[in-house]
Amino acid sequence: MDYLQIAIPAVIAFLITVILTPMIIPVLRKIKAGQSIREEGPQSHMVKSGTPTMGGIAIIGSVTATCLSTSGVAKDLLVFYGAKDMLVILGAFIAFGVLGFLDDFVKVSMKRNLGLTAKQKLLLQILIAVILAVYQSHYSVYGTKIAIPFINEIVDFGIWYVPFIAFVVVAMVNSVNLTDGLDGLASGVTLIVALFLAIVASLYGSPSAALFCSALAGACFGFLMFNKHPARVFMGDTGSLALGGGLAAAAIIMNVVLVLPFVGGVYVAEALSVILQVVSYKTRGKRIFKMAPLHHHFELSGWKETKIVAVFWFATLLLCLISLFSLLIG
């Protein structure tokens, strides 16, 4: 494994984010792009009302700049990494970021907690996901075949490939979005998952994904400096949708998409808690959790915000280490 594949983009993205984020925060304050807090949410969150949101712009900007400029840093790396795969990953990353930006813009301009309607967001997410899936099925060396992790098997999904991949992408995007509810939670978890994917990509000979994921990890680390408790800025849907889309696109390019539910166990738990809560309330009239997503349940159970974030970070790190070990010995 070439550690420079991971270290150089990560350091560059980290530095750009650390420089860019404090420049963006005053601008967000000036345009009054403050976070609106749900009245039905935990009361401890009311103090966060007005905290600048849409900070994900810094993550998107730093990752994009790093991926497109690295060629000038180390011997035409962009050509070496494979411009086509890089542009596909960046395309999905930016497309979902733009969608998130539109959602945040509506929230900020209308001064409300909800932006685009659920139907609008879902349709646009499906459109981007289908385009990504169709491209991959037609132009990737894997075609419609998907690797089954840990058992070294490959299954041809045939006509089910596009709908399955589209489902995974949309699920990933929304799961990351649901995870972004506590200071440093989504940025920290994504830092760990992105670093895992960068290592796997480097080991498996997917340099374009290695470059992107290492840059994403560095950007998340840089953003975490300002997003940790007490947060000075939130990434907003601009950031969370971009993170989910970028991770999913990179995993698809690497053909390790089925690893995501394992290493992204926190994302899955957050999403499942919401689904189970809604189904239980509509069918039985009872709630399973004190509040969903899952991190709010722990908050209302008396856990400090910093404790919840630390536990979720550790769980993600443990899942990534187990997955990495399993892939190496598989």
Domain assignment present for 314: no
Query: Which pLDDT score, from 0 to 100, does residue 85 have?
Result: 87
Domain assignment present for 160: yes
Domain assignment present for 268: no
* CA atoms 151, 154, 158, 164: torsion sign: positive
Q: What is the mean pLDDT of residues 172-199?
A: 97
pLDDT tens digits, one per residue of 16-58: 999 999 999 999 999 888 776 665 566 666 677 789 999 999 9
Range of the domain at 22: 3-259
Domain assignment present for 178: yes
* CB contact at 8 A, 146 and 258: yes
Spatial distance between the Cα atoms of 3 and 217, rounded to a whole number of angstroms = 14
Query: Which pLDDT score, from 0 to 100, does residue 206 have?
Result: 87
Contacts of 88 (CB under 8 A, 6+ apart): 132, 135, 136, 249, 253
Residue 114 has pLDDT above 80, yes or no: no
How far out from the chain centre does Cα 319 lie?
16
pLDDT tens digits, one per residue of 247-269: 999 999 999 999 999 999 999 99
Query: Which pLDDT score, from 0 to 100, does residue 74 have?
Result: 41
Domain assignment present for 301: no
Least confident of 72-81, 144-153, 232-241: 72-81
Local structure of 111: helix, strand or coil: coil
Domain assignment present for 70: yes
Domain assignment present for 294: no
3-state SS, 296-312, equals HHHHHCCCCHHHHHHHH
- What's the whole-model pTM score? 0.94
* CB contact at 8 A, 316 and 184: no
Q: Which DSSP state fits 35?
A: P
Residue 91 has pLDDT above 50, yes or no: yes
* CB contact at 8 A, 200 and 254: yes
Count of domains for the chain? 1
Domain assignment present for 144: yes
pLDDT tens digits, one per residue of 117-171: 889 999 999 999 999 999 999 988 889 999 998 888 899 999 999 999 999 999 9
By CB atoms closer than 10 A (0-12, 13-18, 19+), residue 239 is buried
Query: Which amino acid belongs to residue 50?
Result: G
Spatial distance between the Cα atoms of 142 and 140, rounded to a whole number of angstroms = 5
The torsion defined by the Cα of 54, 180, 11 and 226, in degrees rounded to 10, comes to 60
Query: Which pLDDT score, from 0 to 100, does residue 40 have?
Result: 59
